[in-house]
Structure 1
Amino acid sequence: MYILLALIAACAFGVALHFLLPHRELRGVAVTPAISTAAAAAIYTILQWTGIGESSVWLWVASIGGGLVLALLVTLTITAQRRHHDATAKQALGI
């Protein structure tokens, strides 16, 4: 059940990350928190399978921090691709 605490924290920090990053109008409000939560769940599960207990601070740091870092990288990539695609479409339409 401790995984729920990690997932709730990762989702909350993902929401904060969404609002801290620029160009949030180019992506959905749920994209960054969803990526952060899914990555935290995967990292938490993998670390549990390797034998790290929930009393270890590294499990929490790795799952929440790793989820945020991955969400940051994916969100920046999505935003850059969207800006490039929009610029290309505007140029093609002559706007």
Structure 2
Amino acid sequence: MQILIAFILGAVIGVGIHFQLHQRLTRGVVLAPMVGAASAGAAWAILTWLGIGVDTPWPWLAALIVPIVVTYPVVLLLSRSRVAHDTREKARLGIG
């Protein structure tokens, strides 16, 4: 059941990253929290499958660090990709 804490922590970190980065209007509100929750849950699950218990600090640290390391670049790259695509599409259509 502690994996739910990892999912919640990852989602909260994702919300923080969503509001920290620019170009919020180019991505959905749920993208960053979902990436954060998925990465935190995956890190937690992998560590528990490897036999590392919740009585050690490693799953807890992974639930905090992995979402930051994964979500920040994913959101940044997706935002840049969307802006570049929108710019190309506007040029192709002759809009503004």
Taking structure 1 as the reference length, the TM-score comes to 0.93
Q: How many residues align?
A: 95
Deviation, structure 1 residue 10: 1.2
Partner of 1:33: 33
Identity %: 39
Spell out, residue by residue over 1:12-53, the C-alpha distance to the aligned partner (whole angstroms, 9 max, x if none): 111111001110110000000001101111110000011111
How far has the Cα of 1:65 moved from its partner?
1.2
**Stretches of 4+ moved more than 4 A in 1?**
none
Correspondence list, 1:45-84, <5 A: 45-84=45-84
Check the 8 A contact 2:13/2:67 in 1, yes or no: no
Q: How many Å apart are 1:68 and its aligned residue?
A: 2.2
Q: What letter matches 2:5 in structure 1? A: L
- The answer for unaligned runs of 5 or more in structure 2 is none
| Letter matched to residue 42 of structure 2 | A
Say if 2:14 and 2:33, in contact at 8 Å, map to a contact too.
yes
TM-score, normalised by the number of residues in structure 2? 0.92
CA distance in 1, matches of 2:39, 2:12: 14
* Mapped partners of 1:79, 1:71: distance in 2: 12
Q: Secondary structure at the match of 2:51?
A: coil
Question: Match of 1:93, as an amino acid?
Answer: L
Q: RMSD across aligned C-alpha pairs, in angstroms?
A: 1.0
Q: For residue 92 of structure 2, what is the amino acid of its counterpart?
A: A
- Structure 1 residues without counterparts, runs of 5 or longer: none
Query: In structure 2, what is the Cα distance between the partners aligned to 1:56 and 1:73?
Result: 28
